[in-house]
Amino acid sequence: MELTKENILTLLGEVKDPEIPVLSLVDLGVITGVEISEDDHVTVNMTPTFAGCPAMDYMKKDVERTLEKHGISKYTVNMTFDKPWDSNKLSEKGRQHLKEFGLAPPPKYDLILDLDILEHVKCPYCDSENTDLRTPFGPTLCRSMHYCNDCKQMFEQFKPL
């Protein structure tokens, strides 16, 4: 395999988020950079979804295991906090995977997060906007709980962060 940024990103597409296993770290947007030096040393930069994320070490080790599995022995995986992660970094493919998983994807927003967007969430099951926020606190820090008044389903939203 030729070492290119695109090929490395394809390999890292195998690495899934431990809390949302249908979402790769690439689609989640936590893989923020891939560099390959002239001597084929691969550097992967990652930014966690938040600084206290309990899965940071697990994700880093999973990236390292994936690189090794594909014969890449010279690598460095850095956890960086230079630019904070935000939910706008989710890929369109990742947003679709969230919806198929039963999680409402977060809406995109510009610069300032308006908390009203937690109130108006489209149901991932029936696409209705006739929903209510039940609690902004879901099973993880990045999720909120909602109820659809049309299909009568409870669902979680991946919060805009």
- Each residue's pLDDT tens digit, 38-50: 999 999 999 998 8
Q: Does position 56 have pLDDT exceeding 70, yes or no?
A: yes
Q: What are phi and psi of 22, to 5 degrees?
A: -90, -5
Closest CA to 77 of 49, 58, 93: 58
Q: Are 140 and 50 in contact (CB under 8 A)?
A: no
* Confidence bin at 100 (pLDDT 50/70/90): very high
Distance CA(133)–CA(19), nearest Å, equals 22
* Residue-range domain boundaries for the chain: 5-85, 103-158
- Residue 83: per-residue pLDDT: 86
5-85: CATH number: 3.30.300.130
Angle between helices 5-12 and 56-69 (to 10 degrees): 120
